[in-house]
Amino acid sequence: MTVDPITLEVVRNRLGEIVGTMERLLFHSGYSPILRESFDGSACILDGNGQAVVGSGMPIHLFPYYYTVQAIIQRHGERMRPGDAFILNDPYVGGSLHVPDVAIVTPVFYQGQRVAFCASIAHKPDIGGLVAGSSGAGAREIFHEGLLIPGVRYWTSDGVNPDVEAMLRHNSRTPDEVLGDLRAQVGCTRVGRRRLMELCDEYGVETVTESFELLIQRAERLLRMELLSLPDGEQEAEGFLDDDGVDLGHPVRFHVRIRKQGEEIEFDYSGSNPQVKGPVNLRPQSSETAAALALIGYLDPSIPINDGPRRLLRFVNPPGLVTNVQHPAPINTYYATMLLLFSCVQLALSKFDPARAIAPPGFSAGGITFGYAQSRTGQPAVQYELIGSSLGGTPAGDGAFGTSPLYHITTSQPVEILETEYPLQVTRFELLPDSAGDGKHRGGPAYLREYRLLTEAKFSLRRGGARDGGWGVVGGHGPRPSTCIVNPGTDCEERLPALATRDLKPGDIVRLTSPGGGGYGSPLERDPLAVLEDVRNGLVSREVAREVYGVVVRPGLDGVDEMATAEVRGGRRERSAG
């Protein structure tokens, strides 16, 4: 039987609706702020063979789902039963990007056949390991990064497996939140399972399973069609992290060579650094995701992010590289690394077709963790926040403020939630002037966020290489990199490196600035009125307006001095020509 195009569109809508519901339930019933306030989680429907059909939430979980469910199938295969739900987080077994990303996988049986999986991945506030939050600069092995779960039965038709639950409870600094988040994950996959079975009742199981395959093929075909619009050839790009946090001052190279011919495309990472001792390495699920999302975002972001693209993309990624790290190396700071690699891929793609060039987000993004022995409730607590970035300029316009091109979710948590739950104060949260990469279309600005500790805390900082904040394209400038300063302006001021762990005492100040986005095109080509607006909004100083953009803003900020601007810009162009 063949599913007709109309029915396929119907089933596609229904699947989108089901996975959207799963995601919403996850965020609304989750316990930890990282899940319910930062939305660091996702839901996915996979076919009976574990291929992702449709996902919702964090798009960087696409490849993880595939690898995770393959691992569950391998381990449990025919022994899976209706009512089972499995749990996995080991990045060397399944697809977790790092250890805190715990997956729940619930097989869906229909008339005795396994026809699908409903799955969910959500970042846990703490799953054990060296430091609060599990992800620490000091990790030298994966064993330092938290409890590793290889894919075991967590739920059966009788309910939760109390032995596994007890094990989890005793391996986390925040057991209530971890178990509550897992309950939300199991719940949403069970709701998804129920809805999928109803869909099979309605349309017949063959129609549903065949639609799975057709939807995967369709995404692949869409990507192939878009690839035809890209000139053939070979391009490369590279970027560096300052170091791995262990061998200080030794830059870590990430290199990609893209070979593109017709509908085929290959990403060759073999020019990248060998794997390193510090936790900035990537597992293949992370380095592949970086390329897939960079490509889809560059060509056409509306292409469904499912297993179709994975079938099409070819990788040269030998084991032992920083992009294909081998057991038991640490990987907890994968995110900043992935963002750098993602930016390298988009830079190389921009060389194929400069008219579509995209400036990168600032990639010294990452995360911070405060671990408290006692929170407001008297219980130990872990406060986890992402350090966001801002987008780079594109031919379409300026980069957006405070988001990441790998997932447009907001990374800052509400001040009122933080202060209510944790013993600290947020003292500043403002936009940072002159922080974006300047350009015809500038990058999004950076923000400054400052905390004052009210009790002792263990602080962990994890971000990408600090000196190289990003680059501009087609004549645009790079942004300012991120910074983290403890007790700024005092005798005990300390500028922290990219990766750091510190003990903080009451009264200590932590001042963080995020990276801005890179610029697109020459700043001298920016519309003077747009520069004026930036000055009025406090995003660009009058000095930078004049020195970099060549725009002279009148003293009352009520307009542009056009004559002076023409003069400055004229002189600047001559100089750059000469």
Residues in region 437-456 near other proteins by CB under 8 A: 447-450
CB of 461 vs other proteins, minimal distance in Å: 20
- Choosing from 41, 133, 136, 187, the residue that interacts with other proteins (CB under 8 A) is 187
Q: Which stretch binds other proteins (CB under 8 A): 247-255, 263-271, 397-405, 470-478?
A: 397-405
* 30 touching other proteins, by CB under 8 A: yes
* 5 touching other proteins, by CB under 8 A: yes
* 217 touching other proteins, by CB under 8 A: no
- Write the DSSP string, 355-419: GG--PPPP---EEEEEEESS-TTSS-EEEEEEE---PPPBTTBPPPSS-BTTB----PPPHHHHH
From CA 540, how far away is CA 526, in angstroms rounded?
13
- Choosing from 74, 261, 326, 537, the residue that interacts with other proteins (CB under 8 A) is 537
CB of 350 vs other proteins, minimal distance in Å: 10
Those residues whose C-beta lies under 8 Å from the C-beta of residue 550, and which sit 6 or more positions away, are: 523, 524, 565, 568, 569, 572
- Choosing from 533, 543, 562, 567, the residue that interacts with other proteins (CB under 8 A) is 533
**Smaller CB separation from other proteins, 33 or 94:** 33
Q: Residues 117 to 176: which contact other proteins by CB under 8 A?
A: 176
* 287 touching other proteins, by CB under 8 A: no
> What's the angle, vertex CA 287, arms to CA 68 and CA 352, rounded to 5?
135
CB of 29 vs other proteins, minimal distance in Å: 4
* 529 touching other proteins, by CB under 8 A: no
> What's the angle, vertex CA 369, arms to CA 327 and CA 140, rounded to 5?
25
- How many C-beta neighbours within 10 Å does residue 380 have? 16
**Smaller CB separation from other proteins, 144 or 153:** 153
Asked if residue 462 lies in contact with residue 366, where contact means CB atoms within 8 angstroms, the answer is: yes
Q: Residues 37 to 66: which contact other proteins by CB under 8 A?
A: 37, 39, 56, 59
- Choosing from 389, 412, 482, 513, the residue that interacts with other proteins (CB under 8 A) is 412
- Choosing from 24, 140, 253, 502, the residue that interacts with other proteins (CB under 8 A) is 24
- How many C-beta neighbours within 10 Å does residue 79 have? 8
Q: How far is CA 399 from CA 337, 453, 464, 490, 534, in A?
A: 21, 33, 20, 35, 13
Task: Select from 109, 125, 126, 107 the least CA-distant residue to 117.
Answer: 107
- Choosing from 149, 184, 504, 548, the residue that interacts with other proteins (CB under 8 A) is 184
- How many C-beta neighbours within 10 Å does residue 411 have? 19
Alpha helical stretches, state H, 60-112: 62-76
* 186 touching other proteins, by CB under 8 A: yes
**Smaller CB separation from other proteins, 30 or 278:** 30
Q: Which stretch binds other proteins (CB under 8 A): 244-252, 410-418, 465-473, 503-511?
A: 410-418
Phi and psi (nearest 5°) for 386? -85, 145
* 427 touching other proteins, by CB under 8 A: yes
* 17 touching other proteins, by CB under 8 A: yes
CB of 436 vs other proteins, minimal distance in Å: 13
> What's the angle, vertex CA 335, arms to CA 445 and CA 501, rounded to 5?
90
Here the tokens at position 181 are: 């988040």
Q: Which stretch binds other proteins (CB under 8 A): 67-75, 293-301, 314-322, 462-470?
A: 293-301
The sign one gets for the Cα dihedral 129, 133, 137, 142 is: positive
- Choosing from 141, 430, 503, 567, the residue that interacts with other proteins (CB under 8 A) is 430
- Choosing from 152, 246, 313, 400, the residue that interacts with other proteins (CB under 8 A) is 400
Q: Residue 123 in 3-state DSSP?
A: strand
Q: How far is CA 266 from CA 229, 261, 375, in A?
A: 16, 9, 49
Asked if residue 520 lies in contact with residue 474, where contact means CB atoms within 8 angstroms, the answer is: yes
Q: Residues 541 to 560: which contact other proteins by CB under 8 A?
A: none
- Choosing from 253, 407, 456, 542, the residue that interacts with other proteins (CB under 8 A) is 407
- How many C-beta neighbours within 10 Å does residue 551 have? 29
CB of 123 vs other proteins, minimal distance in Å: 15
Q: Which stretch binds other proteins (CB under 8 A): 35-43, 233-241, 476-484, 521-529?
A: 35-43
* 86 touching other proteins, by CB under 8 A: no
- Choosing from 141, 429, 559, 566, the residue that interacts with other proteins (CB under 8 A) is 429
* 218 touching other proteins, by CB under 8 A: yes
> What's the angle, vertex CA 202, arms to CA 199 and CA 205, rounded to 5?
65
Q: Mask of contacts with other proteins, 294-313, x by CB under 8 A? A: --xxx-xxx--x--------
Asked if residue 134 lies in contact with residue 458, where contact means CB atoms within 8 angstroms, the answer is: no
* 507 touching other proteins, by CB under 8 A: no
- Choosing from 346, 375, 483, 501, the residue that interacts with other proteins (CB under 8 A) is 346
DSSP annotation of 262: T
* 222 touching other proteins, by CB under 8 A: yes
Size, binding site for other proteins by CB under 8 A: 89
* 274 touching other proteins, by CB under 8 A: no
Task: Select from 56, 223, 67 the least CA-distant residue to 150.
Answer: 67
Those residues whose C-beta lies under 8 Å from the C-beta of residue 519, and which sit 6 or more positions away, are: 359, 392, 393, 436, 437, 438, 439, 440, 441, 442, 443, 472, 473, 476, 477, 478, 479
Q: Residues 476 to 495: which contact other proteins by CB under 8 A?
A: none
- Choosing from 82, 180, 475, 488, the residue that interacts with other proteins (CB under 8 A) is 180
CB of 99 vs other proteins, minimal distance in Å: 21
**Smaller CB separation from other proteins, 60 or 252:** 60
Task: Select from 367, 387, 362, 388 the least CA-distant residue to 461.
Answer: 367
Q: Which stretch binds other proteins (CB under 8 A): 126-134, 312-320, 419-427, 487-495?
A: 419-427
Here the tokens at position 71 are: 């691992």
* 384 touching other proteins, by CB under 8 A: no
